[in-house]
Structure 1
Amino acid sequence: MSIPAETAVDQLLTQLAEGRLQVVDLTNKLSADTPTLRLPEPFANLIDFSLESVSEFDDSGPLWRHNNIHTGEHIGTHLDAPRHWISNRDGADVSELPVSRLIGPAHVLDISARAAEDPDFLLEVDDIRAWEAEHGPLREGGWLLVHSGWDQYAQDRDAFLNFSDGASHTPGISAAAAQWLAEETPIAGYGVETVGIDAGNGFALDPPMPAHHHLLGADKYGITSLQNLGSLPPTGALVVVCPLPIVGGTGSPARVLAVVPGGQL
């Protein structure tokens, strides 16, 4: 009896077991304390995440504990689906996203030094082109993940939102760069460590919130509140984005993982 040849999945499992590949969690913890977006009046805000106990080894459930969860779609580490924004109001909901586009090569662009000097820093086309000149072009179905260092504030609501002088001051992307990513690159999605895929002052840009406008309008996805991007190499990692398949959903909290070569952490 012949022994079946080792499959690609077998090779992957072996490399994980031997530490030649490692898994990095890119997800912020989800709780009532998780920092969330705060829109000014008269705009309505989503509810924060909370747990409601249903039973806890008591008369309601003597052998088990379980909870209801209450949350907005765009809370914590979450995915933005195309229909989230007016530029693609009839686009795909979360349940309709092709799963093949939720896994792909990670391209990690580090702006942390510049964001530390200027919290309103905006990524420009030239910054992305300079990254490509060093690391190669953005790949089909890949995710551009921007490491701003903002994950260090992930458990501190005030620092994370950095609100002062009537505005939130967090790094993001310029309108020109958002349009270029949407129209000139083959990426599937764009990920950030901040509360949203746009800068804190994104409403002041033209168009307002250009990452939402251009990327979601072009049927590309956003992922926010990522962690640990600084531990990933610029290229060579695989990102896996796992939102809940909410029918009609404009977004969903998501678990985001990266698979990286061992020894690079």
Structure 2
Amino acid sequence: MIELTWRLENGMAHWPGMVPYNFTIVDRGMIPDGFYLELNNIYLAEHTGTHLDAPAHFIQGAWRLDQVPLQNLVGPGVVVDVRDKTRDNPDYEIGPQDFQDWEREHGRIPDGSVLMLRTGWGEWYWDQGETAYLGTDDGNTSLLHFPGLHPDGAQWLADNRKMHVIGIDTGSMDYGQSVQKMSHQILLPKRVVFIENVGHLDQLPITGSTVYAMPILIGEGSGGPARVFAIVDDRTSACSLTTSTVATVLLALSSAILYNMI
């Protein structure tokens, strides 16, 4: 099982203009009633850390987070690695040629897949700070620099492939200098959901996994933090638990944890 989510912590990178994540301890120790207790408060924006963009984030009248069907958030994992293009170009935009090159080597991107775009920026999420990851730490969006999906690439996917989820290891699906966010404008109306700030893509195989993107179920939300993970296909495994069984257990545990944090 592969973790694809960044841990929420104080001081983590956040989008300029949005409130930073804040975790405060309410209780952590013995209380007067005679037993040990831990309670915490969290304060965060919808689009914090590893999170989902629902179509309503940019499209009026489209699905909000609580309207996205659960089955749309699971699919075969596909990783398109463009680190060789982004290494010397922080403003690189992933285009049709990148997808066509990938398919020549690996075959057609499957319908219903969870397409992960690996730019290499995720390696900077914690290690080198907010300036390295976003291009700025002073709240000025004109200084944002990181790779993203080119509108032509978004249009090619919309016209030629059928998928429910696209993820990227940067702060936004559109590259940092984008003003109109055209890749959002092209794909979100197609009921494609985005995952941004995906973590640990270095651990995900190019193919041969099933990816789950499970957000907090925020009523009327335009997005929300998510637990994203993958289960690698392994027919030789001696494990008797099926993928669906493991996912069900994890979802139940996550729900219980979230309920008890409130």
Structure 1 unpaired stretches of 5+: 1-22, 39-44
TM-score when scaled to structure 2?
Answer: 0.82
Separation in 2 of the partners of 1:220 and 1:60? 50
Q: What per-residue deviation string (whole Å, max 9, x for no partner) do you get for residues 135-176 of structure 1?
A: 121222111101111111111111111239942110111111
1:199 to 175, 178, 190: 175
Paired residue type of 1:113: D
Which residue in 1 is equivalent to 2:79?
Answer: 108
SS, match of residue 235 in structure 1: coil
- Partner of residue 51 from structure 1, selected from 23, 42, 57: 23
Report the counterpart of residue 30 of structure 1 in structure 2. Answer: 8
Q: Matched residue of 1:188: which SS?
A: strand
Instruction: Assess, with a 3 A threshold, how the Cα gap between structure 1 residues 63 and 80 changes in structure 2: closer, same or farther.
Output: same
Matched pairs, number: 228
The one-letter code matched in structure 1 to 2:49 is G
- Counterpart Cα distance in 1 of 2:188 and 2:202: 25
Inter-partner Cα distance in structure 2 for 1:98 and 1:166: 35
Matched AA of 1:192: I
Q: How does 1:25-174 map onto structure 2 within 5 Å?
A: 25-38=3-16, 45-57=17-29, 58-59=31-32, 62-85=35-58, 88-155=59-126, 156-163=129-136, 166-174=142-150
Provide the residue aligned with 2:258 in structure 1.
Answer: none
Question: 2:160 aligns to what?
Answer: 184
Letter in 2 for 1:25: E
- Aligned-CA RMSD value: 1.9
1:169 partner letter: H
**2:82–2:98 CA contact under 8 A, matched in 1:** no
Matched, 1:228 2:206: no
Match of 2:243 in 1: none
- Tell me the residue number matched to 1:42: none
Q: Give the Cα–Cα distance (whole angstroms) in 1 for the partners of residues 212 and 141 of structure 2.
A: 38
- What amino acid sits opposite 1:68 in the alignment? N
**Match in the other structure for 2:253:** none
Distance 1:34 1:235 in 2: 30
Does the Cα contact within 8 Å between 1:103 and 1:239 map onto a contact in 2? yes
- Tell whether 2:184 aligns with 1:212: yes
Distance 2:119 2:10 in 1: 24
Q: Which amino acid aligns with 1:224?
A: E
CA distance in 1, matches of 2:189, 2:217: 20
1:197-242 per-residue CA deviation (whole Å, 9 max, x = no partner) reads 1110121xxxx11221111121100001112212222211111101
In 2: Cα distance, 1:199 partner to 1:62 partner: 50
Q: Which moved more, 1:152-161 or 1:226-235?
A: 226-235
Name segments (4+ residues, structure 1) moved above 4 Å. Answer: 59-62
Amino acid at match of 2:187: L
User: Which residue of structure 1 aligns with residue 255 of structure 2?
Assistant: none
| In structure 1, distance between residues paired with 2:19 and 2:46 | 9
Kindly tell me: are residues 157 and 180 of structure 1, through their superposed partners in 2, closer, same or farther at Cα, counting changes over 3 Å? same
1:183–1:63 CA distance, 2 compared to 1 (3 A):
same
Matched-pair identity in %: 31
